[in-house]
Amino acid sequence: MSLPKDFLWGGATAANQYEGAWDVDGKGPSTSDMCTNGSHTVAKRITTTIEPGTLYPSHEAVDFYHHYQEDIALMAQMGFKVFRLSINWTRIFPTGMETVPNELGLEFYDRVFDECAKYGIEPLVTMSHYELPYALVEKCNGWEGREVIEYFVNYAKVIFERYKDKVKYWLTFNEINAGTMSLGSVLSTGTVKGYTGPITEVPDNAQARFQALHHQFVASAKAVKIGHEINPDFKIGCMIAHMTLYPFTCNPDDMLKVQQEWNIRNDLCGDVHVKGKYPYFFKRFCKDNGLTIKMEADDETILAQGKVDFYTFSYYMSICETADKSAQGGEGNLIGGVKNPYLEASDWGWQIDPKGLRYTLNHLYDRYEVPLMIVENGLGAFDKIEADGTIDDKYRINYLKAHIEQMKLAVEDGVDLIGYTPWGCIDLVSASTGEMAKRYGFVFVDKYDDGTGTLERKKKKSFDWYKTVIATNGEEL
């Protein structure tokens, strides 16, 4: 048996893509609530006000808010040990700036965690998953404003205290390294004050983004420290969108390009969280890019005191990098790059690379020597309901199977991997495009790109397959 017997099998979601009920029971608008739908070819837009007649997919999403019992029961049927979900900050603090939390918002998550407990499912809670209170964008250009640190810390304290006996595993920021890329301005740093337009065309302000990222690092470290004080049994981790990069050729220039990109896209955020300090290469990066990060006197101490207990990441794909500017572009999770001729891609152009997962796990364990968890992985695909009502998603089974095989090999290599939560275990809204058509789930939700649908849940073929995988601890794939 290659996987540890207490391995945390489960699935992952995020409030803004899953819950809906965007203005129910006192919830305020977040950056995600201001985003319209889009598609593979047309970028979704962020707007400064809600435009009448425009579809905002997060507003209803797949309505986990009113389907949580049914969904958690389905997860239990698959044998989930863990369920990754996020708390929607604006359910607890509608503008992010209140001092008294919204009791109705807190009660919702009480109900969710109690439901999980009924089935012995451990919640893994992301505290901020692409859903900054929009009021903070208006007030201080999102995370660029240093005051957001204290608003976040207050939020962290409230949820840690409230759920200290119900939740043990926490992640501070989803894919925090999104802030190293211009696309992260909408999703992650919220540095888009006053901007209406496609999320891919935000006038980039790297200075604001990296300043915002520094504030997120400080906020994360403070939260980790406070969390451990509130409950020493808490396990608090970071979450990075892992961008596994290969040199397009063996030209040393390509290799150097990979190293420089890898440093900033991946290891910068990992190092700050796990090692508690900025890596050596960040200074040179700032100099080359004309960035001046304002830090306060005790920031270094705060980072050193707020090291995470484990490292988690999303892994969907890999991509090639080259120093040759004329090379053809590829597509992917937050990052561009060059297509790898040895790999196939999903319908959305994300290159499928299971072996890259083994490579990544080995790299990360070598660098950090802390437990690792894969908290997102999966295949976004079109699913079709057959005439007999079944959904035969064998492409998804093949994708997941190939990745689990590599996960097992990495564990045999000696990597300390503690869990696996494939993305979008129940169909939900796509983060990059706002589509419903890009589905990841073991469970189909009757909801479509035009906002119609009954929200009925239906098991796909992968449902029973995953159930067996969990029951055999990954032995039967």
Contact residues for ligand BGP (CB under 6 A)?
Answer: 14, 17, 174-175, 241, 314, 333, 376, 380, 423, 430-432, 438
- Please state, as a whole number, how many other Cβ atoms lie within 10 Å of the Cβ of residue 105: 22
Residue 376 appears among annotated catalytic residues: yes
Residue 102 or 172 with smaller CB distance to ligand BGP: 172
DSSP tag of 253? H
Q: Which of 175, 321, 331, 435 is catalytic?
A: 175
- Which residue do the tokens 């708390």 mark? 87
Residue 145 or 441 with smaller CB distance to ligand BGP: 441
Query: What is the smallest separation between the CB atom of 77 and ligand BGP, expressed in angstroms?
Result: 23
User: Of 363, 366, 365, 393, which is closest to residue 381 (Cα–Cα)?
Assistant: 393
Name the E strands within 392-449.
417-420, 443-445
Query: What is the smallest separation between the CB atom of 447 and ligand BGP, expressed in angstroms?
Result: 14
Q: Which of 122, 321, 331, 376 is catalytic?
A: 376
Query: What is the smallest separation between the CB atom of 334 and ligand BGP, expressed in angstroms?
Result: 6
Q: What angle do CA 27, 30, 34 make, to 5 degrees?
A: 115
173 and 218 Cβ atoms separated by less than 8 Å: no
Query: What is the smallest separation between the CB atom of 173 and ligand BGP, expressed in angstroms?
Result: 10
Query: What is the smallest separation between the CB atom of 355 and ligand BGP, expressed in angstroms?
Result: 20
Q: Distance between CA atoms of 20 and 13, rounded to whole angstroms?
A: 12
Residue 60 or 376 with smaller CB distance to ligand BGP: 376
Residue 126 or 322 with smaller CB distance to ligand BGP: 126
Query: What is the smallest separation between the CB atom of 316 and ligand BGP, expressed in angstroms?
Result: 7
Query: What is the smallest separation between the CB atom of 14 and ligand BGP, expressed in angstroms?
Result: 5
DSSP tag of 445? E
Residues 6 or more apart whose CB falls under 8 angstroms from that of 472 comprise: none
Residue 243 or 303 with smaller CB distance to ligand BGP: 243
Q: Over the range 45-84, which residues count as b (16 or more CB within 10 Å of their CB) and which as e?
A: bbeeeeeeeeebbbbbbbbbbebbeebbebbbebbbbbbb
Residue 307 or 438 with smaller CB distance to ligand BGP: 438
Which burial class, exposed, middle or buried, applies to 342 when counting CB atoms under 10 A from its CB (0-12, 13-18, 19+)?
exposed
Q: Distance between CA atoms of 414 and 362, rounded to whole angstroms?
A: 8
Residue 3 or 15 with smaller CB distance to ligand BGP: 15
Name the E strands within 169-226.
169-173, 197-198
Residue 116 or 176 with smaller CB distance to ligand BGP: 176
Query: What is the smallest separation between the CB atom of 379 and ligand BGP, expressed in angstroms?
Result: 10
- Please state, as a whole number, how many other Cβ atoms lie within 10 Å of the Cβ of residue 455: 16
Residue 175 appears among annotated catalytic residues: yes
Q: Distance between CA atoms of 22 and 10, rounded to whole angstroms?
A: 25
Helix axes 64-78, 103-118, angle to 10 degrees: 20
Which burial class, exposed, middle or buried, applies to 367 when counting CB atoms under 10 A from its CB (0-12, 13-18, 19+)?
middle
Just list the catalytic residues: 175, 376
